[in-house]
Structure 1
Amino acid sequence: MSFKIAIIGAGSVGFTKKLFTDILCVPEFKDIEFALTDVSEHNLGMIKAILDRIVEANGLPTKVTATTNRRAALEGARYIISCVRVGGLEAYADDIRIPLKYGIDQCVGDTICAGGILYGQRNIPVILDFCRDIRELAETGAKFLNYANPMAMNTWAAIEYGKVDTVGLCHGVQHGAEQIAEVLGATSPKELDYVCSGINHQTWFIELRLNGRPIGKDELVAAFEAHPVYSSQEKLRIDVLKRFGVYSTESNGHLSEYLPWYRKRPDEITRWIDMSDWIHGETGGYLRYSTETRNWFETEYPQFLEAASKPIDAARRSNEHASHILEALETNRVYRGHFNVKNNGVITNLPQDAIIESPGFVDRFGINMAAGITLPEACAATCMASINVQRMSVHAAIAGDIELLKLAVLHDPLVGAVSTPEEVWQMVDEMVVAQAAWLPQYAHAVPAAKERLSKSKVKTRDWAGAARRSVRSIEELRAEKAALKQAG
């Protein structure tokens, strides 16, 4: 087979390498072309060198090109994969820093909450640019695979306004299933059969079977509470399981910021999180992790390049959906996964226009969702709160409507639990001004926002958060990796 895949944001080096090697695990795909594009010529150069090394080491005819000219990369592409982070770590730092001044403590801040909403405002205009170029330049009927957060907002904008065949992809369901299989004593995750449905990052394991045997709430609670690691790392997640009756896909830290109950007071934050790793609830944890990862990669790049000389091992193909979807579409080998698409009746008790994440099957006819799923009422209620925020956020981003943006932030569950309307209005003004370089649709609103900020009497605080850690140096990271290697 011969076709072209464009990867936008290919400078996300580690993730691009994973997608690339996964796709080349499909024997029929050795003759395809990968067109890499990114705004960073430096990052493009690094990832192209790595992928070229993989191609050479494995004796493949695969073609790899790299360009900062996105339109050139998209020309003739059958599949387009997006891994972009608009504004990079500079804008992301403001997503965490500014809300802290108003008492809003986020672990990740890339889905909803104040940080996720502003992230969406930066991404959506760019997503629409991608869609315009796809319609003009890509193969007719090209498929857009979005991996970028905020997943639901980006996918919503691409489908509703970009008018491109789009599916959103995430790995939270797979990771949650691996946890459940482990606590239940399965020898392999394949022993667990499940139905997981909801919205991205708020997806729920509503049916579980281990080797055909149904697993109920009480057994699952007991298994998690008995686990020597997860019983401490996933305290909040286990509490939600006890109250809702079903397990959430999302990590302790992620889940904590989508709900109004666990991060509303500093003492509550420290009660429910675990500091053994960022993903369990650390303040700004993913920002720290991303910063350290970038610094580590820049410093240790020669090692990454050397590792690319190893043969591709199909047995180590990851469970990221992209390669499996492409394989199913091109070869008709059926794949079952969980996909972010417009609801259209798939989940009976969520809105038709919402972007849901739910089971589906892929073959040469496309992605076919399993329809008629009804969520437990508490799960649906929690999803609805986020969907309403997502809808307003998308509409605000499209129109450049700062008043609607403020209303979206005001209705966010965690923001509403912590901040007053006056604080929200000022916080949004501050974030829009700070991120104006990446928010062209709000250019007309920036002068008035600056004026309001100059006259505001709303008090803020100088607060690092309830559980903040400093970015570690390369030397500290080396010492930690050496200690782990010695211990393991």
Structure 2
Amino acid sequence: MSFKIAIIGAGSVGFTKKLFTDILCVPEFKDIEFALTDVSEHNLQMIKAILDRIVEANRLPTRVTATTDRRKALEGARYVISCVRVGGLEAYADDIRIPLKYGIDQCVGDTICAGGILYGQRNIPVILDFCKDIRELAETNVKFLNYANPMAMNTWAAIEYGKVDTVGLCHGVQHGAEQIAEVLGAKSTQELDYVCSGINHQTWFIDLRLNGRPIGKDELVAAFEAHPVYSRQEKLRIDVLKRFGVYSTESNGHLSEYLPWYRKRPDEITRWIDMSDWIHGETGGYLRYSTETRNWFETEYPQFLEAASKPIDREKRSNEHASHILEALETNRVYRGHFNVKNNGVITNLPHDAIIESPGFVDRFGINMAAGITLPEACAATCIASINVQRMSVHAAISGDIDLLKLAVLHDPLVGAVSTPEEVWQMVDEMVVAQAAWLPQYAHAVPAARERLSTSKVKTREWAGAARRSVRSIEELRAEKAALKQAG
């Protein structure tokens, strides 16, 4: 087979390498072309060198091109994969820092909450530019695979306004299944049969079976509470399981910021999180992790390049959906996964226009969703609260309506649990001014926002958050990795 895959944001080096090697685990795909594009020439050349080394080491005819000209990369593409972070770590730092001044403590801030909503405002205009280029330059039946957060908002914009056949992909379901298999004593997730449904980062294991035997709430709670690690790391997630009756796919830290109950006061935050790793609830945890990862890669690049000389091991193909979807579409080998698509009645008690995450099957006819799923009422209520925020956020990003943007942030569950309307109005003004370089749709609103900030009497505070860790140096990271290696 011969076709072209364009990867936008290919400078996300580690993730691009994973997608690349996963796709090349499909024997029929050895003769395809990967067209890499990114705004960073530096990152682009680093990842191209790694992928070229993989191709050479495995003696493949695969072609790899790299260009900062996105339109050139998209010409003739059958598949387009996006893993962009508009504004990079600079803008992301403001997504965490500014809300902290108003008492809003986020672990990740890339889905909803104040940070995720502003992230969506930066991404959506760019997503629509991608879609315009895709419509003009790619194959007629091109499929757009979006890995970028905020997943639901980006996918919503691409489908509704970009008019491109789009599916959003995430790995939260797979990671949740791995945890469940471990606590239940299964040898692998192959022993589990499960249905997860909801919205991205708020998806729920509504049907769970181990070797055909149904697993109920009480058995699952007992299994998690007995686990020596997860009982400590996933306290909030276990509490939600006890109250809702079903397990969330999302990590302790992620889940904590989509709900109005666990991060509303500093003493409550420290009660529910665990500091052994960023993903369990640390303030700004993903920002710290991303910063350390970038610094580590820049410093240790020669080792990454050397590792690329090893043969591809098909047994280590990851559970990221992209390669499996492409394999199913091109070879008709059926793949079952969980995908982010427009609802259109797939989940009976969520709005039709929402982007849902739910089970589907892929073959040469496309992605076919399992319809007629009804969520438990509490799960649906939680999802709907987020969907309402997502809908307003997408409409604000499209229209450049700063008042609608403020209403979207005001209706966010965690923001509403912490901040007053006056604080929200000022916080949004401050974030829009700080991120103006990435928010062209709000250019007309920036002067007035800046003027309001100069006369505002709303008090803020310089606060690092309830559970902040400093970014570790390369030396500290090396020492930690060495200690883990010795202990292991």
TM class, shorter-length: over 0.9
Task: Name the SS of the counterpart of 2:218 in structure 1.
Answer: helix
Other-structure match for 1:150: 150
Deviations 1:417-463, CA, capped at 9 Å, x for gaps: 00000000000000000000000000000000000000000000110
Other-structure match for 2:301: 301
Counterpart CA distance in 2 for 1:486 and 1:467 is 28
Q: CA deviation at 1:174?
A: 0.2
Other-structure match for 2:56: 56
Task: Name the SS of the counterpart of 1:247 in structure 2.
Answer: coil
Q: CA deviation at 1:242?
A: 0.1
Unaligned runs of 5+ in 2: none
Q: CA deviation at 1:473?
A: 0.1
Counterpart CA distance in 2 for 1:201 and 1:250 is 5
Counterpart CA distance in 2 for 1:245 and 1:160 is 34
Task: Name the SS of the counterpart of 2:459 in structure 1.
Answer: coil
Deviations 1:207-226, CA, capped at 9 Å, x for gaps: 00000000000000000000
Q: CA deviation at 1:471?
A: 0.1
Counterpart CA distance in 1 for 2:384 and 2:195 is 20
Q: CA deviation at 1:40?
A: 0.1
Task: Name the SS of the counterpart of 1:86 in structure 2.
Answer: coil
Task: Name the SS of the counterpart of 2:64 in structure 1.
Answer: strand
Task: Name the SS of the counterpart of 1:109 in structure 2.
Answer: coil
Counterpart CA distance in 1 for 2:254 and 2:188 is 25
Counterpart CA distance in 2 for 1:81 and 1:91 is 22
Q: Are positions 1:291 and 2:311 aligned together?
A: no
Q: CA deviation at 1:235?
A: 0.1
Counterpart CA distance in 2 for 1:392 and 1:157 is 12
Other-structure match for 1:386: 386
Counterpart CA distance in 2 for 1:188 and 1:422 is 51
Task: Name the SS of the counterpart of 1:309 in structure 2.
Answer: coil
Task: Name the SS of the counterpart of 1:300 in structure 2.
Answer: helix
Matches within 5 A, 1:203-222: 203-222=203-222
The number of aligned residues is 488
Deviations 1:236-257, CA, capped at 9 Å, x for gaps: 0000000000000000000000
Counterpart CA distance in 1 for 2:441 and 2:215 is 49
Q: CA deviation at 1:130?
A: 0.2
Matches within 5 A, 1:222-241: 222-241=222-241
Q: Are positions 1:162 and 2:162 aligned together?
A: yes
Counterpart CA distance in 2 for 1:241 and 1:47 is 41
Q: CA deviation at 1:99?
A: 0.0
Counterpart CA distance in 2 for 1:88 and 1:195 is 34
Q: CA deviation at 1:189?
A: 1.0
Counterpart CA distance in 2 for 1:19 and 1:188 is 22
Q: CA deviation at 1:120?
A: 0.0
Task: Name the SS of the counterpart of 2:124 in structure 1.
Answer: helix
Task: Name the SS of the counterpart of 1:330 in structure 2.
Answer: helix
Counterpart CA distance in 1 for 2:174 and 2:469 is 28
Deviations 1:379-420, CA, capped at 9 Å, x for gaps: 000000000000000000000000000000000000000000
Task: Name the SS of the counterpart of 1:258 in structure 2.
Answer: coil
Task: Name the SS of the counterpart of 1:339 in structure 2.
Answer: strand
Task: Name the SS of the counterpart of 1:80 in structure 2.
Answer: strand
Counterpart CA distance in 2 for 1:141 and 1:343 is 21
Counterpart CA distance in 1 for 2:409 and 2:440 is 19
Counterpart CA distance in 2 for 1:391 and 1:190 is 36
Counterpart CA distance in 1 for 2:216 and 2:228 is 21
Deviations 1:364-383, CA, capped at 9 Å, x for gaps: 00000000000000000000
Other-structure match for 1:80: 80
Q: CA deviation at 1:141?
A: 1.1
Off by >6 Å, runs of 4+ in structure 1: none
Q: CA deviation at 1:233?
A: 0.1
Task: Name the SS of the counterpart of 1:263 in structure 2.
Answer: coil
Task: Name the SS of the counterpart of 2:315 in structure 1.
Answer: helix
Q: CA deviation at 1:188?
A: 1.1
Counterpart CA distance in 2 for 1:134 and 1:462 is 44
Q: CA deviation at 1:200?
A: 0.1
Counterpart CA distance in 1 for 2:214 and 2:363 is 29
TM-score (structure 1 length as normaliser): 1.00
Task: Name the SS of the counterpart of 2:341 in structure 1.
Answer: strand
Task: Name the SS of the counterpart of 2:65 in structure 1.
Answer: strand
Counterpart CA distance in 1 for 2:51 and 2:391 is 38
Counterpart CA distance in 2 for 1:381 and 1:188 is 32
Q: Are positions 1:437 and 2:418 aligned together?
A: no
Q: CA deviation at 1:197?
A: 0.2
Q: CA deviation at 1:35?
A: 0.1
Deviations 1:100-122, CA, capped at 9 Å, x for gaps: 00000000000000000000000
Q: CA deviation at 1:193?
A: 0.5
Task: Name the SS of the counterpart of 1:323 in structure 2.
Answer: helix
Deviations 1:176-212, CA, capped at 9 Å, x for gaps: 0000010000011110100000000000000000000
Counterpart CA distance in 2 for 1:151 and 1:350 is 17
Q: CA deviation at 1:160?
A: 0.1
TM-score (structure 2 length as normaliser): 1.00
Matches within 5 A, 1:352-371: 352-371=352-371
Identity of aligned residues (%): 95
Matches within 5 A, 1:52-451: 52-451=52-451
Counterpart CA distance in 2 for 1:156 and 1:453 is 32
Deviations 1:295-349, CA, capped at 9 Å, x for gaps: 0000000000000000000000000000000000000000000000000000000
Counterpart CA distance in 1 for 2:93 and 2:59 is 42
Counterpart CA distance in 1 for 2:218 and 2:482 is 40
Task: Name the SS of the counterpart of 2:460 in structure 1.
Answer: coil
Counterpart CA distance in 2 for 1:316 and 1:187 is 17
Counterpart CA distance in 2 for 1:416 and 1:431 is 17
Deviations 1:248-284, CA, capped at 9 Å, x for gaps: 0000000000000000000000000000000000000
Counterpart CA distance in 1 for 2:129 and 2:41 is 20
